Amino acid sequence: MDPALRIEVAVFDVLGTMVDQPGGLRTAVREALAPGDETSEDRLLAGWAEYVAREERRIANGERPYADSAALDREAAERMTGDGSSPDPRSVERLATANQRLAPWADSLGGLAALARLFPVVGLSNASRATLLRLNAHTGLRWHQALSAEDVRAFKPAKAVYRLALDTAACPPERTVMIAAHAWDLRGAQALGMRTAYVHRPGGDPPRDTDTFDWRADGLEELAAVLAPFA
């Protein structure tokens, strides 16, 4: 193995990559709002995602002051539960904190442990510090370190978020691999010179034909086997 090809640190996206965010949010919508059919659920979930994405862009563009993910989730929940009157506080709270109660994918705990035997493992999430703390406790995910984009008052794919991981690890980007189920996330890491590994997850953002990620895998245990020679 050429020493220049070795990996020193593995950085992981969390929401959607390590936990089932699409399924967990759907369950939260169903429990809090009882929309009655899948089409209504899809509409509510799409509205939530569109609102959060829009507000993240507005923050990135300097069009509104910074607000962390927990605040944006609460705003989205209030919009979903409002019907022209005051939103139901219990429904708002249940929806606003849904990202704290997501379930890990079936291979997340075992795959993370396998990769942690090879490299220091770092979680890097757009989730707020408080959300990430409670989500890690809920799921049993065990990191050597977990970082929130809140620390740099930005959201991925802003370069500052990936620099946070690189600076924390004191590791050059070419010795760091970013692992995610979202191609947009990997492109952001790639822009700073990090190596990239796409992991397929339902509801993720699959690569385009033009994407040139270093590795692709159907799960974390498969990825651990692929990356073992680079440890």
The per-residue pLDDT for range 57-79, each reduced to its tens digit, is 999 999 999 999 999 999 999 88
CATH architecture of 21-100: Orthogonal Bundle (1.10)
Please name which of 44, 56, 77, 40 lies closest in space to residue 149, comparing C-alpha atoms: 56
Residues of the chain with CATH 1.10.150: 21-100
Residue 87 pLDDT: 56
Backbone φ and ψ of 10, nearest 5°: -110, 125
Residues of the chain with CATH 3.40.50.1000: 3-20+102-230
The per-residue pLDDT for range 159-205, each reduced to its tens digit, is 999 999 999 999 999 999 999 999 999 999 999 999 999 999 999 99
Return the CATH fold of 3-20+102-230: Rossmann fold (3.40.50)
Quick one: pLDDT band at residue 230, thresholds 50, 70, 90? very high
pTM over cut 0.85: yes
CA angle 110, 30, 49 (to 5 degrees): 75
Quote the mean pLDDT of the chain.
93
DSSP string, 170-198: T--GGGEEEEESBHHHHHHHHTTT-EEEE
The per-residue pLDDT for range 115-160, each reduced to its tens digit, is 999 999 999 999 999 999 999 999 999 999 999 999 999 999 999 9
**Which pair of structure tokens corresponds to residue 148?**
């929130």
* Helix or strand (DSSP H, E) at 195: strand 195-199
